[in-house]
Copies of this chain bind each other. A is one copy, B any other.
Amino acid sequence: MLFRQLYDQETSTYTYLLADEDSKEAVIIDSVLEQVERDQKLIKELQLNLKYILETHVHADHITGATELKKSFPNAKTIVHSKGGVECADIHSTDGMEIKFGKYYLKVLSTPGHTNGCVSYYTEGMVFTGDALLIRGCGRTDFQQGDPSKLYDSITQKIFTLPDNTLVYPGHDYKGFTCSSVWEEKKYNPRLANKTKDEFILIMNNLNLPYPKKIQESVPANLKCGNIKLSDA
């Protein structure tokens, strides 16, 4: 499989490009508006046919590049989970759905808790966890329908039950890690390793994090698939 991890330094966001090198069918996960020019160019250089534009959730820290990407790849379909509240998406995914590109597929795992519509995408050997599971951390649960009890269940019952050697590719990292594994996170994630649900909830309810800088512009724009003109109206 052709695989590229891409990084937005300003928001520490990871975007992922996956493709079947034979059929050239490709998917992109969590694109960033400011990086669309870079990503469009790369997709064209790699001679790929962008089939799906996926989101792991409605982001609060950056605006998706979905609408801009569709200008260059008008046949690409946007996919967001049915509980994300993103009416403009071409396809609303549900738990267990398989998103096919060439001979590969990504399986939708509903992993709510950071937001209610959060999903992870799984294919053999890799899981893209968005802001549910981060490397040695996890997404915050103090806005956007955040719920630490749900997040604990999502991580422990959906992600931690994948094979131990599955590589974990998160939506963000702030320390320079690019990936982890299910084994590592089960063993070393300080919020989850050997923690009961009650202990996890206590940790999450006492993080006292600052309010995200871009939430006021990001969430309305992402609910409109990153179409800034519509979200301004």
Which residues does A use to contact B, with CB under 8 Å?
4-9, 35, 38, 42, 45-46, 175-179, 184, 187-188
Contact = CB atoms under 8 A, between A and B. Distances in A.
Copies in the complex: 2
Contacts of A184: 45-46
A8 B38 contact: no
Contacts of A175: 38
A8 B176 contact: yes
Given A5-B178, A46-B184, 15 more contacts: A4-B177, A4-B178, A5-B179, A7-B7, A7-B176, A7-B177, A7-B178, A8-B176, A9-B176, A35-B176, A38-B175, A42-B177, A45-B184, A45-B187, A178-B178
Nearest to A188: B45
Contacts of A5: 178-179
